Structure formats: structure tokens, C-alpha cells
Amino acid sequence: MRKATFSGRFDNLAEISEFVVGAAKEAGLNSSAVYAVELAVDEACTNIIEHAYGGEGKGDIQCCCDISKDSLTITLRDRGRPFDPNKVPVPKSKANLKNLKSGGAGLYLMRKMMDEVRFEFTKESGNILTLVKCKVSKSCVPD
């Protein structure tokens, strides 16, 4: 398992990306799956900085990458404000990307790019976002 902690700053997004891309390649994901992981984690970390912490330098992001036979599981932990992902509206599918209002598009993107997206919020552990990418699309996520 790979594990690292990054300061919640936008200039650390490239380092976080490098960290998860390395794990995705080590897991044997193909290039489009590696890109999906990179994009989803970048969006998630941007949301943590902007929304959970309310700005840069207000907390850390812990990133764990666990490689299994079938998948790569990325766990992001922070101590920012929790939110209810069920209250985020799904963007209209026919909307032009330029016309999308902020809020919801990133979460939608994460859910489309990854095979599984789970949120957990506890006072003890803080905010935990789990992202799973299967080596063979959706073959590792039980129905």
C-alpha cells in the first residue's frame, strides 16, 4: 500500500497526481484507466481544498493507494467540513460544458470515471472518499 500526506494546496495537485498515476501504472491499469484515476483524484482533491477546507493551506489530504489483483483503491482523507453527496444535483446531460454551473459536475465526473465512489463522514476519522478503478471495467464491483 502506498500512503502519503499532502498539504491542501493547489500547487500540490501535480504531486498528488504523480503519486496516484504511479500507483495506477503499478496496478497495471491501461492508459485510459490511468487517466480516469488521475482526473477523478484531481477533481476530488480540488473539491477538498475548495469546499471541505474553504481554501488553501487549511488542512492536509492523506492519500492511500491499495493495489489488489482486480483493482486500485484510492482513499482520500481530510478533516474539513463534511457534505452530503446525495444533495448535489446531477448536471443535465445535454448541457454544454461551458454552461454548467459550479457544483455537481466534479462529483458527476468522478462517478463516471471510476467504478465505485464512496463517501464516509465520522468525527473520529474525518471525511473519507474511496475511489475504486477495476482493471477490467466494473468487474471488481459487486452488483
> pTM above 0.85?
yes
C-beta separation of 110 from 118 below 8 A: no
Domains of the chain by start residue, with CATH? 2-134 (3.30.565.10)
Confidence band (pLDDT; 50, 70, 90) for 103? low
Residue 102 has pLDDT above 60, yes or no: no
Confidence band (pLDDT; 50, 70, 90) for 136? confident
Confidence band (pLDDT; 50, 70, 90) for 98? low
Residue 143 has pLDDT above 90, yes or no: no
User: Long-range contacts: 41-46, Cβ < 8 Å, 24+?
Assistant: 41/16, 41/17, 41/74, 41/76, 41/131, 42/13, 42/16, 42/17, 43/106, 43/109, 43/110, 44/76, 44/106, 44/110, 44/129, 44/131, 45/6, 45/8, 45/13, 45/16, 45/76, 46/10, 46/13, 46/106
- pLDDT mean over 70-88: 90
